[in-house]
Structure 1
Amino acid sequence: MTSRQNRQRDRAERGIPEATVARLPVYLRALTTLQDGGVATVSSEELATAAGVNSAKLRKDLSHLGSYGTRGVGYEVEYLVYQISRELGLTQDWVVAIIGVGNLGRALAGYGGFASRGFRVAGLLDADESIVGEEISGMTVEHIDRLEDMIADHGVSIAVIATPAGAAQVVCDRVVAAGVTSVLNFAPVVLSVPEGVDVRKVDLSIELQILAFHEQRKAGGPGDYDPVADDGAPPGATQYVEAVVEA
């Protein structure tokens, strides 16, 4: 069993809800900003405001980690950063391969936040012969035929799929067959994977549609949707951790 699978088993045994796991990176981002600003301790109210959640939810989430803070003082920022980083597996390096080097793949390759958060991009792959061999962000784009070799040679743990929709499932099948059990999918398609493989989907068009939904309601559009009654999320909206990609 891998260390990641061990952590997943431990979280399940401790009863940490998936919704809490999804919010931990948001807390970590807020805490890192506080730490960079020289803040040593933070109250649950202050941290909740920085993370965009209510303080009761934050305290409950952190209690799953065994972190309750100190009455009248709050949470020690440095220690809480360590706690959450350890829980998320960020105290070790994770090797990533980016498959599909179009505009989005290039932006991901140039994103400086990966290394500072424990992720190392091992390489870039594409099927387009005109792109293969090109230097992007200090890496040489390799042909997709090298996919399995790259996974084996570099110990890739996470595959980022940024291909067109028509190629995504075939690529996913190959990375899973090569032993990768975590996939971040930017392709506009739902991927089918076997049990034990985790897929996180990021679809920017869906998020824009959700924002359009809210804009329509603000302007007095059709329907009687009450955002307060539904915790501010429209029907079918998925909560996920935002990934900011800087080109």
Structure 2
Amino acid sequence: MTPRQNRNRDRAGRGIPEATVARLPVYLRALHALQERGVATVSSEELASAAGVNSAKLRKDLSHLGSYGTRGVGYEVEYLVYQISRELGLTQDWAVAIIGVGNLGRALAGYGGFASRGFRVAGLLDADEALVGQEIAGRTVRHIDRLEDVIASGRVSIAVIATPAHAAQKVCDRVVAAGVTSVLNFAPVVLSVPEGVDVRKVDLSIELQILAFHEQRKAGGPGDRRLSGEGPPGPAQYVETVEAG
């Protein structure tokens, strides 16, 4: 069993819900901001507000870590940072390989937040001969043919895929075959992976489309009128389907 599978088993044994795990990085980001301002303690209400959740949910989430705060005082910021960082595995050194160093990959390679959060960029790879050998953020771009060597020599734990859509699945198959079980996918495609491999997808275009939907509704645009029965007539079954859903 891999270290990551052991962590997942231990987490399940402690009964930490995946929804809570997903919120922990948000709490950690808020806590880091408090640290930068020199704040030593924070109430659950203040931290919840900074994280965009209600205080009851935050207290329940943190209780899974064994952190309950002190009545009338709140949470010690530095210790809570340590608790969450330890739970997320950020007290260890995680090697990351970025595959695809176009505009997005180049930006990711130069992101300073990786090192401060326990992530080390161990390799940059691309199939473009014009990019191979270039120095980006102090690292040399290697040819994609050396992917397996870079993963092995750099002890890569996480692969970041920032390739064009048509190349993403093949790259994913190779990193998984090389032993990587965590993938962060920026390519606009759904990746197929075997059981035991975790994939997180980041699709900026989808997020923008969701924001456009909400902007349209706030402005009383076509989407809002259509769902409320106003605007140009459309198939009756469309409205019925929406209402039934």
Q: Tell me the TM-score normalized by structure 1.
A: 0.89
Q: Indicate the structure (1 or 2) with the bigger Cα radius of gyration.
A: 2
Aligned to 1:240: none
Q: Secondary structure at the match of 1:101?
A: coil
- For 1:86 and 1:26, the matched residues in 2 are separated by 15
Aligned to 1:155: 155
* CA drift at 1:220: 1.2
Aligned to 1:139: 139
Q: Secondary structure at the match of 2:86?
A: helix
One-letter amino acid of the counterpart of residue 121, structure 2: V
2:47 is the counterpart of 1:79: no
- For 2:4 and 2:117, the matched residues in 1 are separated by 16
Aligned to 2:113: 113
Q: Secondary structure at the match of 2:91?
A: coil
Aligned to 2:184: 184
- For 1:149 and 1:111, the matched residues in 2 are separated by 24
* CA drift at 1:13: 1.0
> How many pairs align?
226
* CA drift at 1:170: 0.1
- For 1:4 and 1:197, the matched residues in 2 are separated by 10
Q: Quick check: 1:181–1:196 contact (8 Å CA) kept in 2?
A: yes
- For 1:3 and 1:91, the matched residues in 2 are separated by 14
Residues 57-101 of structure 1, C-alpha deviations (whole Å, 9 max, x = no match): 111111111111111110111110000000000001100000001
One-letter amino acid of the counterpart of residue 9, structure 1: R
Q: Tell me the TM-score normalized by structure 2.
A: 0.90
Aligned to 2:197: 197
Q: Quick check: 2:97–2:122 contact (8 Å CA) kept in 1?
A: yes
- For 1:213 and 1:16, the matched residues in 2 are separated by 33
Q: Quick check: 2:27–2:47 contact (8 Å CA) kept in 1?
A: yes
- For 1:51 and 1:96, the matched residues in 2 are separated by 27
Q: Quick check: 1:7–1:87 contact (8 Å CA) kept in 2?
A: no
* CA drift at 1:8: 1.1
2:47 is the counterpart of 1:47: yes
* CA drift at 1:38: 1.2
- For 2:189 and 2:119, the matched residues in 1 are separated by 25
Aligned to 1:243: none
Residues 153-179 of structure 1, C-alpha deviations (whole Å, 9 max, x = no match): 110000000000000000000000000
- For 2:2 and 2:50, the matched residues in 1 are separated by 34
* Structure with more contact order per residue of length (Cα contacts < 8 Å, sep ≥ 6): 1
- For 1:93 and 1:75, the matched residues in 2 are separated by 26
Greater shift, 7-16 or 23-32, is seen at 7-16
Query: 1:162-241 residue pairs with structure 2 within 5 A?
Result: 162-221=162-221, 222-223=223-224, 224=227
- For 2:7 and 2:81, the matched residues in 1 are separated by 17
- For 2:209 and 2:64, the matched residues in 1 are separated by 34
Give every structure 1 segment of 4 or more consecutive aligned residues whose post-TM-superposition deviation is greater than 6 Å: none
Task: Give the gaps of 5 or more residues in structure 2.
Answer: 229-241
Q: Quick check: 1:173–1:193 contact (8 Å CA) kept in 2?
A: yes
Aligned to 1:241: none
Q: Secondary structure at the match of 1:157?
A: strand
Alignment root-mean-square deviation, CA: 1.2
Residues 178-219 of structure 1, C-alpha deviations (whole Å, 9 max, x = no match): 000000000000000000000000000000001001101100
Q: Quick check: 2:5–2:196 contact (8 Å CA) kept in 1?
A: no
* CA drift at 1:15: 1.4
One-letter amino acid of the counterpart of residue 188, structure 2: P
- For 2:67 and 2:10, the matched residues in 1 are separated by 16
- For 2:220 and 2:15, the matched residues in 1 are separated by 42
One-letter amino acid of the counterpart of residue 197, structure 1: V
Aligned to 2:4: 4
2:57 is the counterpart of 1:60: no
